[in-house]
Amino acid sequence: MKKIGFIGLGIMGGNMASHLLKKYKNINILKRNSINTKKFIKKFANKGKINLYNNPKELAENSELIISCVGNDNDLEDIYLRKNKILDGVRKNTIIVDHTTASLNISIKLFKKFRSKQVFFFDAPVSGGEIGAQKGNLAIMVGGEKNKFGVLKKSLDCYYKSMIYMGKSGNGQLTKMVNQICVASIIQGLAEGLNFAKKKKLNVENLLEAIQNGAAQSWQLENRSITMWNNKFNFGFMNKLMLKDLKILLNESKISNIELPITKQIKGFYTKLIKKGYSKEDTSNLIRLLR
């Protein structure tokens, strides 16, 4: 791929785009006034690594592969479907990869819109958080047309550890929903376990050494247990983003009449934390609510 467009230079996207610039000569981005975009431009503009465009339509006209990583469904509607946006400028046989965690409906809608223009759209949410994006070892779950999946694997291998094809359009988002159901429950279990250990005055280093190679082992245990123990949460995947994800998946479970009682309860915990002013703290701060 010689012409790559990237939209969404936030905590996750900015790191992904940086990895792309290590692999490719340059990439196309939008000229925006956001803090993250200005930082990205300042870092790479003088190196001749980025091409700036004024709107998504222009970016699409000059890109063969378009990657997005934005906040929510409304952001996707804005960059892809409204006037002077990507749908207006995209060329036949362009490949679009969206890393946003979004609803099933918007992903399928975008797939159909672009398929009518002979463009290939993939819903490809990621897991691994800020650390995974920085290290280039994200887990990517992909829904879309399988015959173009090989192109994604070759083009994006600079920022993933695993990329798994999950089937038809929307299945990437459904897989991410499963991921978030599991993650939320693991964080809550870890929070309760650490809180119990602290109240019983156990030595945390010995505790973790004792349980980390057993059935309790997890990414959260390995990467978040010490910071949770020390009440440090100023990093990582923000509570407000987890709450957004849980709302999406619980809405989907309601439509499908699937019961998720524990996930629903944990969603209530994140709602409380955000009301208390902790919206930007790492999701591991569920432990704040325990006594």
The answer to whether 149 and 177 are in contact (CB under 8 A) is no
What 3-state DSSP class applies to 123?
strand
Residue type, 20: L
Two tokens, residue 169: 């359009």
Mind giving me the DSSP string for 84-106? Answer: TSHHHHPPTT-EEEE-----HHH
Torsions phi, psi of 145, nearest 5? -85, 120
Buried b (16+ CB within 10 A) or exposed e, 261-288: eebeebbebbeebbeeebeebbbbbbbb
Q: Which of 91, 79, 99, 224 is nearest to 172 (CA)?
A: 99
Element (H, E) at 264: helix 261-275
The answer to whether 118 and 164 are in contact (CB under 8 A) is no
- Residues present in the chain in total: 291
What 3-state DSSP class applies to 282?
strand
- Quick check: is 153 catalytic? no
Q: Strand pairing of 126-127 and 138-143?
A: antiparallel
From residue 63, how far is each of 2, 46, 94 by CA, in Å? Answer: 8, 21, 8
The answer to whether 43 and 21 are in contact (CB under 8 A) is no
Which of 85, 176, 232, 254 is an active site residue? 176
Eight-state DSSP code of residue 76 = H
Residues labelled as active-site residues: 176
